[in-house]
A = this chain, B = another copy of it.
Amino acid sequence: MKIETDPKADLSAQIAKSIRDAIVNGDMIVDERLPSEAELSDQFDVSRSTVREALKRLAAQSLIRTQRGASGGAFVRRLSYEEAYGQHITTSTLLLSMNAVSFETACEARYALERACAPMACDRRTPDQLATMRAEIHRQSQPGLSDESFCASDVALHRALVDAAHNPVLSYQLAGAVEAMQPLMNMITFTARSREEIVGIHSRLTDAIEAQDAAKADHALHALEAYTLTLGRDVMAARAQKSGS
């Protein structure tokens, strides 16, 4: 295990990097045990505290898990889809909120990705996923629903669409794009009229998926993108006017 001497980096960062490289390169396999903290501090010739800080960095990236007691230690962790989802969503959300991504850009990306998996969803959708989509549509029709709940239901529906493609890699990649949009979407106040419109398009979309009509699904997603964009622009315009007055 080599240690690249980048003189400006912290020791714990250097050690974390060398261990991370070993894991990513496949030098260590899943569930393999790392040397104990004492052994690592000997190998790298640093104190145990420094080794611990390095290990905490790796734990934060879900690369290792630790276990106390005899025959405990740090083990290479199998990265599950669920954890990867979580990290991806957190990162995507922060990226959008910290970098002032325009509503248009995020919207365009989201619907482009969804259109990419619509044909596969048409092929492979299960009754289960159709039922989920119908249930969310029903929820969205409830009059007392808050804007936040409406958005959450929207995300759930689109998530079902993505999962219907039955491609875990695709689901993983798209989860970030769709869920990271939610804070942006939450800024929109949905009138009764706009909800009705959206529910209508959602129904057409679900019908298309059920009928396995990819062209129709694509059309519905285009309509949804256009309408969402209109709503978003209205909100932005209203906000700009307000702050300008």
Q: Which of the 9-residue segments A53-61, A139-147, A151-159, A191-199 touches chain B?
A: A53-61
CA gap between A234 and B26 in the complex, in Å: 24
Interface size on A, residues (CB 8 A): 57
Is the Cβ of A81 less than 8 Å from the Cβ of B95?
yes
Is the Cβ of A167 less than 8 Å from the Cβ of B120?
no
Q: Which residue of B lies closest to A68 (CB)?
A: B10
A17 CB to nearest chain B CB (Å): 10
Is residue A40 within 8 Å, beta carbon to beta carbon, of the partner chain? no
Taking CB atoms, residues of chain B closer than 8 Å to A24 are: 90, 93-94
Among A30, A57, A106, the one with the most B-chain Cβ atoms within 10 Å of its Cβ is A57
Which residue in B60, B87, B93 is a CB contact (below 8 Å) of A58?
B60
CA gap between A170 and B109 in the complex, in Å: 5
CA gap between A87 and B87 in the complex, in Å: 9
Is the Cβ of B94 less than 8 Å from the Cβ of A108?
no
Is the Cβ of B97 less than 8 Å from the Cβ of A168?
no
Taking CB atoms, residues of chain B closer than 8 Å to A168 are: 101, 105
Is residue A12 within 8 Å, beta carbon to beta carbon, of the partner chain? yes
* Interface bits A44-63 vs B (CB < 8 Å: 1, else 0): 00000100111011111101
A120 CB to nearest chain B CB (Å): 7
Q: Which 10 A-B pairs have the closest CB atoms?
A: A116-B116, A57-B60, A109-B169, A60-B60, A109-B170, A112-B116, A53-B56, A56-B56, A84-B95, A79-B94
8 additional A-B pairs beyond A23-B94, A61-B90, A84-B91, beta carbons within 8 Å, are A49-B52, A79-B98, A105-B168, A108-B167, A109-B169, A112-B167, A113-B170, A173-B176
12 residue pairs A–B, Cβ–Cβ below 8 Å: A12-B56, A24-B93, A26-B97, A54-B56, A56-B57, A61-B90, A79-B91, A79-B94, A95-B172, A112-B167, A169-B177, A173-B173
